[in-house]
Amino acid sequence: MSVLSGRTMTWLLAGVACAWTPVLAQEYPTRPIRVIVPFSPGGATDAVLRMVAPGMSHLLGQSVVVENRPGGAATIGMNAVAKSEPDGYTVGVANTSFATNPLLFTKKMPYDTDKDLQPVSLVAVVPFVMSIHPSVPARSVKELITLARAKPGALNYSSSGNGSASQLATELFKYLTKTDMVHVPFTGGGAALTAVLSGECSLFFSSIPPAMGHYKSGRVIPIGITSATRDPSLPDVPAIAETVPGYESIEWQGLVVRAGTPPQVVAKLQQAVAKTMSDPALKQRFAALGAWPKGSTTAEFAAHIQAERRKWAPVIKAANIRFN
């Protein structure tokens, strides 16, 4: 009886592993799936995924558990995904920061966004509203541009933090309109909106739901939507693009997994998202959150991420936004 050499045994074991990989992928999932949200509970990104998780769980036949891992401008949570096993049981939630972080960090990130993570599907987009304090002598985007150009630096704007989507939305507006406004960063959207309510700041690019009551009371005034078209919840508020051609700035959420995850597994996750996002009841719940369901193919989501990076690169450079 011959004895197999160590090299031959290694080849045989590798062959067995390769043969089993498609089988395991076809059986996926056989246990709960963890979805890591790299932000604190209560924000738009967290709320969107908690709405989507039950539908995905039903379609996949396993629990989809949302876990918050905030910090490091989303890099702590994303690093956990990048260092996980490439088996589809750890899924990350990417938003605008996923595309912009490589442009913002001056130091090397703990993972390579393009090499270590694999896009699965876009999930939703969330437009902002340019919201101004009543004391600001402007009632339209055009009037605000005229005011800002006449008094460079006289207006200030709040944001939910340095490098945040709300700051980028404002900086894109400044970039395209050649205006100058002073940035006042806060540690969240609630504090940034409060700053405008109190008159401490002139304007804030807010998501719709937390500001809706204040629009109705007149404590803040909505003058422009950041999506390319008007939002059904605020049909009388024009899109900023109606005055500033080419302007569009929307927060987005999508799912990613560790690079190397079997294509069959990625496909099952993508299909679960697509079917979940087509549910009419979920669409109504999204509308209440000020979000639009946007399932996509994996290739479409990958292209979206790259397009976002190209779009924001000159804006970030012009505004000199950096993370140390």
Q: Kindly report the three-state secondary structure assignment for every residue of 230-287.
A: CCCCCCCCCEHHHCCCCCCCEEEEEEEEECCCCHHHHHHHHHHHHHHHCCHHHHHHHH
pLDDT at residue 227 in the model: 96
Burial group, residue 142, by CB count within 10 angstroms (0-12, 13-18, 19+): middle
Angle, alpha carbons 117-122-123 (nearest 5°): 120
pTM: 0.88
Tens of pLDDT along 2-24?
Answer: 445 555 555 455 555 444 456 55
Residue 190, CA distances (Å) to 41, 167, 233 in order: 13, 14, 20
| Tens digit of each residue's pLDDT (9 = 90 or more) over 270-302 | 999 999 999 999 988 888 888 899 989 999 999
Q: How far apart are CA 238 and CA 204, in angstroms?
A: 16
The span from the CA of 184 to the CA of 172, in Å, is 16
3-state secondary structure of 71: coil
**Domains in the chain with CATH codes:** 32-125+251-319 (3.40.190.150), 127-242 (3.40.190.10)
